[in-house]
Amino acid sequence: MSQYVLEVKDLKKYFPIRSGVFKRTIGHVRAVDGVSFDVKPGETLGIVGESGCGKSTTGRMIMRLTTPTDGKILIDGKDITHAKGAALRESRRHAQMVFQDPYASLNPKMSVGESIAEPLIVNKVLSRDDAFERAAQLLDTVGLRRTDITRFPHEFSGGQRQRIGIARALALNPKLIVADEAVSALDVSIQSQILNLLMDLKHEFNLAYLFISHNLAVVRHISDRVGVMYLGHMVENGPKSSLYADPLHPYTQALLSAAPEPRRVKRRERIILQGDVPSPANPPTGCPFHTRCPRAMDVCRSQMPKPVMVHPEHWVACHLHG
Amino acid sequence: MAEPLLAIRDLKTYFVSKHAEVRAVDGIDIDVQKGQIVCIVGESGCGKSMTSLSIMRLVPKPRGKIVNGEILFDGKDLLKLSDREMADMRGSEISMIFQEPMTALNPVLTIGTQISEILIRHRGMNKRQALDKAVEMLKFVGVPRANEIIHEFPHQLSGGLRQRVMIAMAMICEPKLLIADEPTTALDVTIQAQVLELMKKMRDETGTAIIMITHDLGVVADMADHVVVMYAGQVVESVDADTVFEQPKHPYTRALMDSIPSLEEDKDVLYSIPGTVPSAANFPKGCRFAERCPLAQPSCFEKAPELREVAPGHLVRCDLVS
């Protein structure tokens, strides 16, 4: 058994931009551009960032729903970066995914029982009958009724569908669950039900989560550690208490100050960033954030900052530190 | 208090089909003063969006119908105006901005054409004057390269810029009332902060009153002067923004506040409201929140509570609150 349930090393994903009659590649969108992190068993790593920062692509690469351009992914110590066939199926027994829109990720023509039992049958873990028995147990675990097994996804509300998605992800007893915006489409009262369920399951099954979200408060609530991504790079990564109390990267600071907090008391001064995120097809030289950074220096325009450990287990890639 | 700019009285908007009568908005009263920002908060299906469409008289036909009530705007009942008179109001006296600017903007017209046609329609300007005014307005809302952007199409702009264009269109005739339905929900936090800041600036400089529809209590804390909480087609609490955050009275409002994770404090377990919102086709006869309410008494299931003034200016629909 490995020390880490997930290790990601210098992971890259470039999508080619094709144009013309012969569809020649004229450039690349650098969706993920050299990201490294790891997740220990039973730990939750939250990944935050804005649209287009590469957080979802990172999650999809870990599930091998898209193939990395470069870098390495190790799940439970095994390199699955280029795994195929049986080896890939094996890796998915250890890592499962929960998606944002449970309606789009459940087959509308399959009963809930069939959807949950399918991974068990495909992986030849259990016989058909036993798989359905296990599916009923899982429905119970996620707070639905065992009798719901014969019903279809359209009969459920959004929150209930997300529970079904979670039950299916749990079917193979994975060590890691990649949750991509798993509560973002839900109303707050339902969102808190699902967050509580995820945290209960974590303790019950010693699960590790890679929890991808744009919502900083949700990530703070559920995570042990948090990684902040910007334009395909991870710019800061640290234990949640340290990262939220003392954000080091100017982008993390701006992100935290921009997130509206449901309280009326005045907080620290809001930093309002100018402009938009640059295009990942044509990223700026040097630090990816320098075009919007209120504290940019000359060195930021030419040199990419290296990660520096500032607090225990809390690093930042910024020229202001180091 | 002065005569309100907008006074909604016992508004009921129903969707009627052969099989069911869906009471989307079921008897609401809301006042908006000149220059005031009123936030309407609630979860999906509470009737908040239908309220805004009712004010604009844009309820989807033929199923949707305003069956009762008055909407007094500047003393005139909007529901009694002819279609022609109402069309003169929209965009001129009352404007609206939507969640998804891409679906609200016309994809085949340039930005300049779309903004200037409002001035040509409502202010009788010629094309040249209207375009000049459009550029001036775009600059005011902080759109860079305004002279070039008027010749561009919506798909060429980023989400944040599109929302600025929407605001420019909505504000160009200096309406007395702006209705914003989830204006920042589709935007990233750093862009959301920019847009919210802009809306406050517009209000301060033009005195436009804003009705802001949102599910995000963080946005409410940031923007609102007055807050209206809706549940299942009714107003359950209505009070100034400081009070709603410091002393929420309705059990639903309190439950909502306890359900959201915080950026600044650790909560071990989030409160979660059990169950789901009752169907608008089949409301219970007693209090509509009783089934999910932690404080519910047998009497709550029997008798529907009225909206009562429990303290000066503080309206609550709950018989248990004193």
Structure tokens at A187: 């109303």
Tell me which residue in B144, B189, B197 faces A50 most closely, judged by beta carbons.
Answer: B189
Mean pLDDT of B14-41: 94
Per the CB < 8 A criterion, the answer to whether A239 and A225 are in contact is: yes
Mean pLDDT of A150-167: 92
Q: Which chain B residue lies closest to A49 (C-alpha atoms)?
A: B188
Write out chain A residues lying below 8 Å of B246, CB-based. Answer: 264
Interface test with A, best of B188, B222, B258 (most A CBs within 10 A): B188
DSSP letters along B140-168, please?
Answer: HTT-TTHHHHTTS-GGGS-HHHHHHHHHH
Q: Is the pLDDT of residue B320 over 70?
A: yes
Mean pLDDT of B197-210: 93
Q: B260 and A217: CB-CB below 8 Å?
A: yes
Q: State the number of CA atoms in the 13 A half-sphere of A108 facing the CB.
A: 5
Tell me which residue in A256, A262, A273 faces B257 most closely, judged by beta carbons.
Answer: A262
Q: What is the pLDDT of residue A1?
A: 59
Q: A192 and B188: CB-CB below 8 Å?
A: no
User: What is the CB neighbour count within 10 angstroms for residue B122?
Assistant: 18
Three-state DSSP state, B47: coil
Q: Which chain A residue lies closest to B192 (C-alpha atoms)?
A: A258
Sorted by where each begins, the domain ranges of chain B are: 6-93+173-316, 94-172
In whole angstroms, give the CA distance from residue B29 to residue B71.
9
* Mean confidence (pLDDT) of chain A: 92
Q: What is the pLDDT of residue A121?
A: 92
ipTM for the complex?
0.82
In whole angstroms, give the CA distance from residue A7 to residue A39.
7
**Chain A 196-225, CB below 8 Å of chain B: which residues?**
196, 199, 214, 216-218, 220-222
Sorted by where each begins, the domain ranges of chain A are: 228-322
Give B261's contacts (C-beta < 8 A, 6+ positions apart). A192, A195, A217, A218, A220, A221, A222, B267, B270
In whole angstroms, give the CA distance from residue A34 to residue A105.
29
Mean pLDDT of B190-217: 92
Residue percentage of chain A with pLDDT more than 70: 98
Write out chain B residues lying below 8 Å of A258, CB-based. Answer: 189-190, 192-193
DSSP A277: P
Q: B190 and A50: CB-CB below 8 Å?
A: yes
Q: What is the pLDDT of residue A266?
A: 62
The CATH H-level (homologous superfamily) assignment of domain B6-93+173-316 is: P-loop containing nucleotide triphosphate hydrolases (3.40.50.300)
In whole angstroms, give the CA distance from residue A299 to residue A291.
13
Interface test with B, best of A48, A192, A291 (most B CBs within 10 A): A192
In whole angstroms, give the CA distance from residue A132 to residue B82.
61
Q: B256 and A261: CB-CB below 8 Å?
A: no
Q: What is the pLDDT of residue A157?
A: 85
Phi, psi torsion values for A45, nearest 5 degrees: -105, 120
Q: What is the pLDDT of residue B1?
A: 58
pLDDT tens, position by position, A59-88: 999 999 999 999 999 999 999 999 998 899
Give the range with max mean pLDDT: A279-288, B222-231, B273-282: B222-231
Q: State the number of CA atoms in the 13 A half-sphere of A146 facing the CB.
A: 5
Q: What is the pLDDT of residue A187?
A: 86
Q: Which of A204, A243, A250, A205 is nearest to A223 (CA)?
A: A243
- B240 touches A: beta carbon within 8 Å: no
Q: A188 and B192: CB-CB below 8 Å?
A: no
Write out chain A residues lying below 8 Å of B183, CB-based. Answer: none
- A125 touches B: beta carbon within 8 Å: no
DSSP letters along A42-101, please?
Answer: T-EEEEE--TTSSHHHHHHHHTTSS--SEEEEEETTEE-TT--HHHHHHHHHHEEEE-S-
How big is the A-B interface in CB pairs under 8 Å?
117
In whole angstroms, give the CA distance from residue B170 to residue B164.
10
Separation of CA B287 from chain center: 24
Mean pLDDT of A39-54: 94
CA distances from B317 to B104, B229, B290, B301 (A): 35, 10, 12, 14
- pLDDT tier at A322, thresholds 50, 70, 90: confident
Structure tokens at B78: 């909007």
pLDDT tens, position by position, B240-255: 999 999 999 999 999 9
Three-state DSSP state, B107: coil
